[in-house]
Amino acid sequence: RAQAKREMEERAAALEEERRVLKEETRRKKEEDKRLARAESKRKLEEEAAALEEGRRALEQEAKRQKKEAEKLARAQAKREMEERAAALEEERRVLKEETRRKKEEDERLAREESRRKFEKEANTLEKERQELALEARKRKQEAENLAREKAKRRREEETVTFEERRELARKARRRK
């Protein structure tokens, strides 16, 4: 039993040592991975910076080349531009004239539409008022009919009362005799 216990303890100690070693290795591996990732990230950034610098230099050279080309073209183009500007101004005048005509037509069309909308709105308002007045007239007619019926009913009741009063008076007169 003592032997078995010792073996169990030794196995437990070995397992614990193995677990500690694995933990340490995992920690080291993590740190190494982080270091490698940082190094890779730094390398990529440096590559990007170099590529950007190369691009900037290329753009600078292209800009210089284009500037020279532009100056050369500018001299040859000055005359052409003057002629084109004159033609463009003439075209612009023609376009403005056409746009003015179109705008006038559109304004007239919009004015007609607005006028029609106002007319329809007014017609709708008048129709609504007519319907409201008709409803009011029906209500008043109904009220007048109700009052007339009530009046007739009251008159009948009064006549009935009067007839009953006369009968009562006649009965009293008969008793007195």
Query: Residue 44 contacts by C-beta under 8 Å, 6 or more apart in sequence?
Result: none
CA distance 161 to 169: 12
Tens digits of residue pLDDT in 122-145? 999 999 999 999 999 999 999 999
pLDDT confidence tier of residue 164, bands split at 50, 70 and 90: confident
| 15 vs 8: CA distance, rounded Å | 10
Which comes out higher in pLDDT, residue 164 or 149?
149
Residue 81: is its pLDDT beyond 90? no
Q: Between these two residues, 155 and 42, which has the higher pLDDT value? A: 42
Look at residue 160 in the predicted model and tell me its pLDDT.
72
pLDDT band at 167 (very low <50, low <70, confident <90, very high): confident
Report the C-alpha gap between 72 and 94 in whole angstroms: 33
pLDDT tops 90 at residue 156: no
Task: Give the Cα-Cα-Cα angle 25, 30, 36 (nearest 5 degrees).
Answer: 120
Each residue's pLDDT tens digit, 83-122: 999 999 999 999 999 999 999 999 999 999 999 999 999 9
Residue 161: pLDDT band (50, 70, 90) is low
Q: Interior CA angle at 141 toward 135 and 143, to 5°? A: 105
pLDDT in tens, 140-154: 999 999 999 999 998
pLDDT in tens, 20-78: 999 999 999 999 999 999 999 999 999 999 999 999 999 999 999 999 999 998 888 89
Q: Who wins on pLDDT, 22 or 167?
A: 22
